[in-house]
Structure 1
Amino acid sequence: MLILAPMEGLLDHGLRTALTRVDGVDRCVSEFIRITDQLLPLRSFTRIVPELLRGSRTPSGVPVRPQLLGSDPACLADNAARLAELQPAGIDLNFGCPAKTVNRHRGGVVLMDEPELMQAIVAAVRRAVPAHIAVSAKMRLGIDDERRALECAQALEAGGASELAVHARTKAQGYRPPAYWESIATVRQGVRLPVIANGDIWTVEDALRCRAVTGCSALMLGRGLVRRPALARAIRWHDAGRPMADADVDPCVAALPWPQVLPLLAEFWQDVCGRVERRHRAGRLKQWLNHLRHAYPEAQQAFDALRASNEPEAIAAWLLQHQELAALAARAPEVEMTA
């Protein structure tokens, strides 16, 4: 099982659509929907997870599990029941967000100081939704240390969670390397529910080492998949014993060369232009290019070429030109053979 992680401010439905065009991802988890003290209208759920209007799936057919964040069991249960009307592909609960604003309002990872409340939240949501809708959870290793990680995991299990994703860092550790996969192994050994490993899985080699260290067969991929859109595909190819043509080439790049990334960028750009304010559009594309340049030299060149441009027309022209150039290059051997 390979799952696309929730990432607030980056992995919205537009990027989910683009990334799931590449095979390999089994499921996505949405960015969080914040629950405070109100029963949200259905449009609040479909605004963040428009896939709910298409059977809770991306256009490529990959299931999307909406994620709720909050600290009031009754209010979360009421909202989960309303969300269930849209027949989501499960409901995920956020106990891992490290953002200060979220934590200040008693949401995300700060709840790991209250495992009894975590259990009550899961139990309330589990009771509120039909049995066929899975209720899962995501947490970190803790706030300042890992002392309560296993206790929290066991609380979530006792509440009725069907599976648990664990990001291998505490709140204090943020996103700084390394990820502490050994601690996920400790959590996994202390619960019966399936555990999904998350954190610092950038390459196929990382995925294999993470599996070996944690004992988890299921992985959650975040920034690694944003940098290398074929990471899940390349992991699948490795699992199937498919040999790579060139040992010196990144398996993820071999599985999705740059000319095949360009159409994903173009589709993402089209989506951005249809829903994002004009002044913010260029920033969204550059944000993804900034990630892609870690794996693709061409993405670095694109980032440099577009760095100073905020005009949507200029960016659209650049994308069109480079797609055409890539198409011509792909047809070149055929032209030579014909000649």
Structure 2
Amino acid sequence: MQIALAPMEGLVDEILRELLTEVGGVDWCVSEFVRVCDRLLPLASFRKLAPELDSGWSTASGTPLRLQLLGSDPVCLADNAAFAASLGVSVVDLNFGCPAKTVNKSRGGAVLLKEPELLHAIAREVSATLPAGVPLTAKMRLGYDSPDGALDCARALVDGGASMLVVHARTKLDGYKPPAHWEWVARVQEAVAVPVYANGEIWTVDDWRRCREVSGADNIMLGRGLVSRPDLALQIAAASVGREPEPLSWAELQPLLHLFWRKARQKLAPRYAPGRLKQWLAMLTRSYPEAQALFDSIRRDNDCARLDVLFGLRVDELSGPVAAEFIPA
């Protein structure tokens, strides 16, 4: 069984990737998507969203990082994938799942599920350009407004060269509204001869059990569920071998929150750091009632100095090589 951490633009950045993989249970993770339009991107574009490239394409815990690309031009995507391979990336992933309107309007993400022929052309071009030993994978939704074409899209990607699929079991128009249609993951797995990961609406160990029963998927990708409960992957990994570990308590989560704030202060400009903290706290409220009280207490506070005091951060801990330069996507 494999458990992956999902790419989530503007949320699961290098800071959360490091912290969530440090908790344990995650076998590999994926960068936020690198948007590819009409040119070969410079190294800085890759380093901004995947700074782990400077540490062997892995997080501090040693969890491998895959690079995700988003775009619609097969040749341009292939050129950028080849460049990433020259930088040492071990796996390149393609994004056909992003539901954001701005992304879809520029022919990226889930809107391309309307065009299975284009999916095939992209996968074929990218896989042909990647060197041997650097596989291509893809993440897709069930479709744009209907799952009727999901199997065609899956076949197009695999026939084009994708060696693994992650299926977010909702359409673009479904957004993130429950339920996730896990039964379609089973149908996709029947249609293609590559591993298929189930993704969507896995918030608890019981959700994972139901997902496994309905989808038949041995492997899963966790997104919001893992952000909301940082030890969810660890719990599921333990449950898969018959153990039931005690969930991480709010008290046990405190060192992780403090570490998050320290890294946010080191790597983000002061005007962005409080927003990222509140964003994560808002997600944590789903699993921890105490997170709601903390979120409410700092909801309108954007003063980093006051937050430093709250989290016990010393002045000498604020130095960071990219504190002033890094701007979140």
Could you tell me which residue of structure 2 aligns to residue 291 of structure 1?
A: 283
State yes or no: 1:47 paired with 2:39: no
| Bigger Cα Rg | 1
For residues 130-279 of structure 1, what are the structure 2 equivalents within 5 Å?
A: 130-244=131-245, 254-279=246-271
Could you tell me which residue of structure 2 aligns to residue 19 of structure 1?
A: 20
Q: Deviations over 1:129-178 (max 9, x none)?
A: 11211210010000111111000000111011110000111111111111
Q: Is the 8 A contact 1:2 1:218 kept in 2?
A: yes
Letter in 2 for 1:314: R
Distance 1:301 1:144 in 2: 38
State yes or no: 1:313 paired with 2:305: yes
Could you tell me which residue of structure 1 aligns to residue 101 of structure 2?
A: 100
Report how far residue 320 of structure 1 moved: 2.2
Report how far residue 282 of structure 1 moved: 1.0
Name whichever of 306-315 and 85-94 sits farther off. 306-315
Letter in 2 for 1:286: K
Q: Is the 8 A contact 1:40 1:79 kept in 2?
A: yes
State yes or no: 1:7 paired with 2:8: yes
Report how far residue 310 of structure 1 moved: 1.2
Q: TM-score, normalised by structure 1?
A: 0.90
Distance 2:45 2:234 in 1: 33
Q: Deviations over 1:227-262 (max 9, x none)?
A: 000000001111222245xxxxxxxxx332223311
Letter in 2 for 1:168: A
Distance 1:8 1:79 in 2: 19
Q: Deviations over 1:67-109 (max 9, x none)?
A: 0001111101111111111111301001111111111111111
Distance 1:144 1:293 in 2: 31
Q: Deviations over 1:164-221 (max 9, x none)?
A: 0001111111111111111111111111111000000000000111011101111000
Letter in 2 for 1:192: A
Could you tell me which residue of structure 2 aligns to residue 83 of structure 1?
A: 84
Could you tell me which residue of structure 2 aligns to residue 73 of structure 1?
A: 74
Could you tell me which residue of structure 1 aligns to residue 295 of structure 2?
A: 303
Corresponding residue SS for 2:29: strand
Q: Is the 8 A contact 1:18 1:265 kept in 2?
A: no
Q: Is the 8 A contact 1:262 1:319 kept in 2?
A: no
Could you tell me which residue of structure 2 aligns to residue 36 of structure 1?
A: 37
Identity level (%): 54
Q: Is the 8 A contact 2:235 2:244 kept in 1?
A: no
Distance 1:185 1:217 in 2: 11
Name whichever of 193-202 and 113-122 sits farther off. 113-122
Q: Is the 8 A contact 1:233 1:255 kept in 2?
A: no
Distance 2:204 2:283 in 1: 14
Q: TM-score, normalised by structure 2?
A: 0.92
Report how far residue 23 of structure 1 moved: 0.9
Count of paired positions: 312
Corresponding residue SS for 1:265: helix
Distance 1:68 1:108 in 2: 10
Report how far residue 280 of structure 1 moved: 2.2
Distance 2:244 2:199 in 1: 26
Report how far residue 308 of structure 1 moved: 2.7
Could you tell me which residue of structure 2 aligns to residue 247 of structure 1?
A: none
Q: Which runs of 5+ in 2 are unaligned?
A: 314-329
Q: Is the 8 A contact 1:66 1:90 kept in 2?
A: yes
Report how far residue 266 of structure 1 moved: 1.6
Could you tell me which residue of structure 2 aligns to residue 251 of structure 1?
A: none
Q: Which runs of 5+ in 1 are unaligned?
A: 245-253, 322-339
Which contiguous aligned blocks of 4+ residues in structure 1 show a shift greater than 4 angstroms? none
Distance 1:6 1:89 in 2: 16
Q: What is the root-mean-square deviation in Å for CA atoms of aligned residues?
A: 1.2
Letter in 2 for 1:56: W
Letter in 1 for 2:255: P
Corresponding residue SS for 2:147: coil
Letter in 1 for 2:3: L
Distance 2:146 2:53 in 1: 37
Distance 1:274 1:148 in 2: 45
